[in-house]
């Protein structure tokens, strides 16, 4: 029998088609709920480092869309790991796989409930990995800090990455627009 995961997860792919809206460019690839099916999907698709710049992968709990506007994301935020260009060849794929395994393996102990998903952005200016949590308010700060600590240790980061609140990010975009 296959080994069931605690949650069902959905993998999304974002390709930057200028003729379409951002939301239209977010495409659902597939969902899985066993360890074996995770590896089938993961071994079948391109590595993050092989994606064209401007593309993303997102892995979110099924039912949560990989966007700020989703009910479950709208009050949340993300731990944001920004890589420099040379880390694409040396660490991007290893970091992304490590984060995926933390997610499906519920590595955040009793704060795994606060996890929505994770995003990897492949960008010319430097790749990014975001771990999205459900609520950025002070009421969830110990969960956020604990998740950040586990991510920092899992990736062996020397410095603690920043945690960004989505509505600030969304506001920044609207101001920029
Ligand atoms: C529903 N909706 C429109 C919407 N909902 C969203 O949730 C959402 C967006 N739009 N995003 C748009 O992508 C641009 C690049 O962000 P980037 O994170 O790819 O990073 P770069 O600037 O390409 O490095 C953002 O500036 C924003 O325009 C980003 N984003 C998460």
Q: How many CB atoms lie within 10 A of CB 51?
A: 20
Ligand 1 centroid to Cα of residue 91, in Å, is: 24
pLDDT of residue 169: 80
For the segment 72-101, the average pLDDT, to the nearest whole number, is 97
14 lines ligand 1 (CB under 6 A): no
15 lines ligand 1 (CB under 6 A): no
Ligand 1 centroid to Cα of residue 36, in Å, is: 32
For the segment 45-72, the average pLDDT, to the nearest whole number, is 98
pLDDT above 90: residue 9: yes
H or E element that contains 122 = none
Closest Cα to atom 22 of ligand 1: 123
Tell me how far apart the alpha carbons of residues 71 and 99 are, in angstroms, rounded to a whole number.
23
Question: Which pTM was predicted?
Answer: 0.96
| Band (177; pLDDT cuts 50, 70, 90) | low
């Amino acid at each position: 029998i296959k080994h069931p995961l605690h949650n069902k997860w959905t993998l999304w792919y974002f390709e930057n088609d200028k003729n379409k809206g951002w939301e239209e460019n977010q495409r659902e690839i597939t969902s899985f709920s066993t360890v074996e099916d995770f590896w089938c999907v993961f071994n079948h698709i391109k590595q993050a480092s092989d994606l064209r710049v401007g593309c993303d992968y997102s892995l979110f709990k099924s039912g949560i869309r990989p966007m700020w506007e989703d009910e479950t994301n709208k009050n949340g935020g993300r731990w944001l790991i920004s890589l420099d260009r040379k880390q694409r060849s040396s660490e991007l794929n290893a970091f992304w796989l490590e984060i995926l395994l933390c997610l499906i393996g519920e590595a955040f102990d009793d704060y795994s409930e606060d996890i929505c998903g994770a995003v990897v952005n492949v960008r010319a200016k430097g790749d990014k990995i975001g771990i999205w949590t459900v609520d950025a308010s002070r009421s969830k700060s110990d969960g956020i800090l604990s998740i950040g600590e586990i991510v920092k240790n899992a990736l062996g980061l020397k410095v603690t990455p920043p945690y960004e609140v989505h509505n600030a990010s969304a506001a920044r975009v609207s101001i920029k627009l």
